[in-house]
Amino acid sequence: MSPAHRPHILIVDDEPHLCELLAFRLEHHGYRVTTELTGKAGIEALGRERVDAMIVDLRLEDGDGLDVLTEVQKRSPDVPVVILTAHGTIETAVEAMKRGAYGFLTKPFHDHDLLQKLGHAVESAKLRREVAGLRRIVGAESDEMRLLGTSDRIAAAREVIARVAPTDATVLLLGESGTGKELAARSLHGLSPRRSKPFIAVNCSALPAELLESELFGHVRGSFTGAVRDKEGLFASAHGGTLLLDEIGDAPAPVQVKLLRVLQERRFTRVGSMAEEEVDVRVVAATNRDLLAEVRDGRFREDLFYRLHVVPIVMPPLRDRVEDIPLLAEVFLSRAAARHNLSEPTPTPEALRMLLAHPWPGNVRELANVMEGAVLLCRGQRLQPDDLRALLVPPTRKLETRPSEVEIEDAELATAAEASEAMVLALGDHSVDLPPLRAARDAFERAYLVEVLRRANGNVSAAAKLSGRNRTDFYDLLRKHGLSSASFKE
C-alpha cells in the first residue's frame, strides 16, 4: 500500500522515547505516523493534513489531554481519539468518554490491545465519513436514534447497518429483548434512501392471527364480522418506506404464508378481496427467539426463514458490552434529567462499579429505566450505590449473570474448589439430579474465572497468567460468562 493510502495516525505525547516506540510499532503494522510532543503542536498538525485517528496522552507538558480531545471534537469531530495514560481511574475514563473519546488505554499496555483499539478506531472514522456522506443525501440522524457505544460488538453492528442501509436487502435483527433491535431498524431506515417515506413497526405477537392478517394486509368491507368499511393495511401504509415486523417468531402460521408471498412477489391481497395489490416496502424483521430451533420444531416456516435471513444482524446483550455501560449511563442520566427538568447527578466510582457488575437481564432498556429512576430518586448531586439498590432487579437465571458488588460472596459464585467439591458430591449422590455436561462445565469454568479474578484483584494480565491463558483468550472467556474485571478490583 502506498504511503498516501495508509491510515494516518497522529500521536501526541510529551515522551519522545514513547513516541518513537509507538511510531515504530505502528509503521511496522502498516500505519503512517506523525508524532508531536505538545497539545498545541498536535492541534496544528491536525489542521495541516487528514488524520484517521489520534493517540493522545492524558498528561502533556503544555496541558491536559482531555482539553486536546475537546479541541479535536470542535475541529474534526470525525477523528476518533484514543486517550493514553498512566493514571487510569474510572472517573477519568468516564470523563474521557463523555467528551467523546473513542477509547482509553492505560500504560503499560500490550501491543494487541493498542492495535485492536486503533484498528477499530480507523474503521470507525472510515464509516463515519461514509455515513456523513449518506446523511448529506438523506438528512441527519437524530440523537435518539443513535446506537451508542464504543465496544467491538456494537461497533460491528453499526458497521453492518451502515453498509446495508443504502440497499433494499431484507434484514433480520436478532437479540434479546431490550438490546435495541427497533432502534437498529430505525437507523437502517434513517440512513436509507427511503428516509422520507414512512417507517412503521408492528408487533406480531400482540394480535391473534385474524386481526394480525387484517392489520398487515388490510381488509374489504364485509370480509368478517365488524368489517364495516374498507381498511388499508400496514404494508400499503408503508409503501415506499420500511416495515418492521417485530417479534416475527410469534407470527401465526397463516400470516407466515402471506408474508412469504409478499416477500417473494411484492404483491398481496386484502382479507376478503380477490384483487392483488403491488407494494414497494423494505422489510426488516426482529426476534428474540432462536428461529432455527423454531424451524426444526415445525413452528416457523423454513422458506420464510431464509427469505428473512438475507442480512442477519445480532444486537449484543449489554453484559457482552460492559465497557459501554459508563457512557450509556451518562447519556441516559442526561436525557432523563432534561425530560424531568431536574439536575443531572454524577455517578460515584462505587455506583459505576455496581452498574458494571449488574447482569442487566433487561439490557439497554433496563439501564435506561434504571437511570431515569436514579434521576428521580437521587438525594444529591452524586449518584451513590444506595440510590441504585432499589432500582436494580435481582437476576433470575444464575448461569447467565455476573456477580453484583453485594452478592459476590453468594453460593452461586462459589470458588473453583467449592464448585469441584459440589460436583463430586453430586456424582456420588444418586438422589441429586445431575446437570447436563455442558451446563456443569460452564458452571465450573465460570466459578474458576471468578476465583482467578479474585486472587488477581481484577488484574486481567495477572489473572490470564495464573490461568495459563493469553490475554485475548482470557478476555473472550470473561465475555462468554458476562464477567467484568472491574468488579474484582480492590
The confidence score (pLDDT) of residue 414 equals 41
Q: Are residues 265 and 170 in the same domain?
A: yes
The x, y and z cell numbers of residue 392, run together, are 436494580
Listed residues 314, 337, 365: the one ending a domain = 314
Q: Are residues 309 and 325 in the same domain?
A: no
Q: Are residues 129 and 180 in the same domain?
A: no
Domain count, the chain: 4
What is the pLDDT averaged over residues 327-339?
Answer: 89
CATH code assigned at 460: 1.10.10
Q: Are residues 189 and 284 in the same domain?
A: yes
60-69, 405-414, 453-462, range with greatest mean pLDDT: 60-69
pLDDT per position as a tens digit, 80-109: 899 887 765 667 767 777 778 888 888 778
Does the pLDDT of residue 184 top 70, yes or no?
A: yes
The confidence score (pLDDT) of residue 458 equals 80
Pick the more confident residue, 284 or 107. Answer: 284
CATH code assigned at 249: 3.40.50.300
Q: Does 414 map to a domain?
A: no
Q: Are residues 288 and 338 in the same domain?
A: no
What is the pLDDT averaged over residues 185-209?
Answer: 90
Q: Does 291 map to a domain?
A: yes
Does the pLDDT of residue 381 top 70, yes or no?
A: yes
Pick the more confident residue, 77 or 176. Answer: 176
The confidence score (pLDDT) of residue 451 equals 82
CATH code assigned at 342: 1.10.8.60
Q: Does 205 map to a domain?
A: yes
Q: Does 219 map to a domain?
A: yes
Q: Does 366 map to a domain?
A: yes
Q: Are residues 264 and 336 in the same domain?
A: no
Pick the more confident residue, 273 or 28. Answer: 28
Listed residues 288, 314, 340: the one ending a domain = 314
What integer best gives the mean pLDDT of the chain?
81
The confidence score (pLDDT) of residue 122 equals 86
Q: Does 397 map to a domain?
A: no
What is the pLDDT averaged over residues 63-86?
Answer: 85
- Mapping DSSP onto H, E and C, the string for 174-186 reads ECCCCCCHHHHHH
Listed residues 314, 345, 379: the one ending a domain = 314
The cell 433470575 sits on which residue? 396
The confidence score (pLDDT) of residue 464 equals 81
What is the pLDDT averaged over residues 245-259?
Answer: 92
Q: What percent of the chain has pLDDT over 90?
A: 34
Domain residues for 278?
165-314
Does the pLDDT of residue 115 top 60, yes or no?
A: yes
Q: Does 460 map to a domain?
A: yes
pLDDT range class, residue 240, cuts 50, 70, 90: very high
Q: Are residues 104 and 207 in the same domain?
A: no
Q: Are residues 170 and 307 in the same domain?
A: yes
The confidence score (pLDDT) of residue 413 equals 41
Q: Does 423 map to a domain?
A: no
The confidence score (pLDDT) of residue 263 equals 92
CATH code assigned at 36: 3.40.50.2300
pLDDT per position as a tens digit, 199-226: 999 998 887 777 888 889 888 887 766 6
Q: Are residues 113 and 84 in the same domain?
A: yes
Does the pLDDT of residue 117 top 50, yes or no?
A: yes
pLDDT range class, residue 3, cuts 50, 70, 90: low
pLDDT range class, residue 37, cuts 50, 70, 90: very high
Considering the entire predicted model, what is its pTM? 0.55
Does the pLDDT of residue 137 top 50, yes or no?
A: no
Q: Which of 125-134, 262-271, 315-324, 426-435 has the lowest mean pLDDT?
A: 426-435
The confidence score (pLDDT) of residue 225 equals 66
pLDDT range class, residue 395, cuts 50, 70, 90: low
Q: Which of 47-51, 277-281, 345-349 has the lowest mean pLDDT?
A: 47-51
Q: Are residues 182 and 306 in the same domain?
A: yes
What is the pLDDT averaged over residues 391-417?
Answer: 47
The confidence score (pLDDT) of residue 23 equals 92
pLDDT range class, residue 397, cuts 50, 70, 90: very low
Q: Are residues 130 and 255 in the same domain?
A: no
The confidence score (pLDDT) of residue 420 equals 46
Does the pLDDT of residue 401 top 50, yes or no?
A: no
What is the pLDDT averaged over residues 238-255?
Answer: 93
Q: Are residues 374 and 261 in the same domain?
A: no
